[in-house]
Amino acid sequence: MDPLSDVLSLLKPHTYMVGGFDTAGPWSVRFPQHDGVKCYAIVSGHCWLAVDDVPDPVLVQTGDCFLLPTGRPFTLASDLALTPLNPFDFFAFPSNGHIRTHNGGGDCFGVGGYFAFAGKHASILLGVLPPIVHIRTESAKATMRWSLEGMMRELREPKPGGFLVAQQLATMMLVQTLRLHLAEGLAGGVGWLFALADHQMSAAITAIHTDPAHPWTVQQLAERAGMSRSIFALKFKQTVGDSPMEYLTRWRMLLAADRLVNSTDSISTISLSLGYESESAFSTAFKRVMGSSPRKYSHNQNPSHPKRGQSPSPPLPQLQLV
């Protein structure tokens, strides 16, 4: 898989809610703090988006898509000067499939999903994203159109299996938004996601993700990037924030941590599969990166997490206001 797919697979995002809203007249609604990621798209009309601690509000218009990855409270409104209501007082019961309405709807129609993460390390993705990821170019809107129109149909005209279809379309929106965000270049940022926008750094990161057990050297990764060793090492550190070997070790430990929680593999099996010749060397690296020994990490998981070898049970799916 590619690095973005690898990270999303590790985090195990699942759609906790999908739904839509249809508003008319003057309106303002304030959403509380949330975990995970909220992903919205405006199918028709426009509204203002204001996120706590972000100085400038954003006008979102027909075809725009936006992610809210930091969990901060936010407001959607026709006019931000209005006193906002909470979402449960603001929206009526669904009156058109699974669309929540206000004042009969017709002015601003949006759809979206709320994604929770079953994996424990959501910060490796959410920590490198800005408070608002706003996708608004015409080419990006064209890319999103098919999934938006499909979700709109599923929400307005529910059919058997409709939730699963809407869930998959919402996941497509999430991935497409991240891809389009990458395509914009992400100039000036530091982190693995920003590095994927650079074809040389992306080549090296992809090599690591393709074969994390390989005994990579800085020279080998530099060759994958088509650069000299010294220039590659400097650029990688500047772009990713870690040295190539630090990144390799951290990714191996994240993979190991996931298997310690979600598989019955022994520590020795995991260590060998990730390129370590001895369990001792693996345990030393794991403790340095993760803060505890593999055995202690495995035993000290949150009690709500499943035992080794069991799959986590996501919350019951819902079709409602997101």
DSSP string, 244-305: HHHHHHHHHHHHHHHHHHH----HHHHHHHTT-SSHHHHHHHHHHHHSS-HHHHHHTS-TTS
Assign domain 3-183 to its CATH architecture: Sandwich (2.60)
**CA angle, 103 then 109 then 112, to 5°:** 125
What would the CATH number be for the domain defined by 192-299?
A: 1.10.10.60
Q: Which pLDDT score is estimated for 93?
A: 56
Q: What is the pLDDT of residues 143-175, one digit of tens each?
A: 888 888 888 888 878 788 887 888 888 888 888
> What residues pair up with 47 in beta bridges, in sequence order?
60
Residue 151 has a pLDDT of 84
Secondary structure of residue 182 in the 3-state scheme: helix
Beta strands in the chain (DSSP E): 13-23, 28-31, 37-44, 46-51, 58-61, 65-68, 74-77, 99-102, 108-117, 133-135, 318-319
- Within this chain, domains 3-183 and 192-299 share the same CATH topology: no
Q: What angle do CA 310, 289, 303 make, to 5 degrees?
A: 30
Stated pTM of the model? 0.78
Residue 162 structure tokens: 């409709």
Spans of the chain below 50 pLDDT: 302-321
Domain boundaries, the chain: 3-183, 192-299
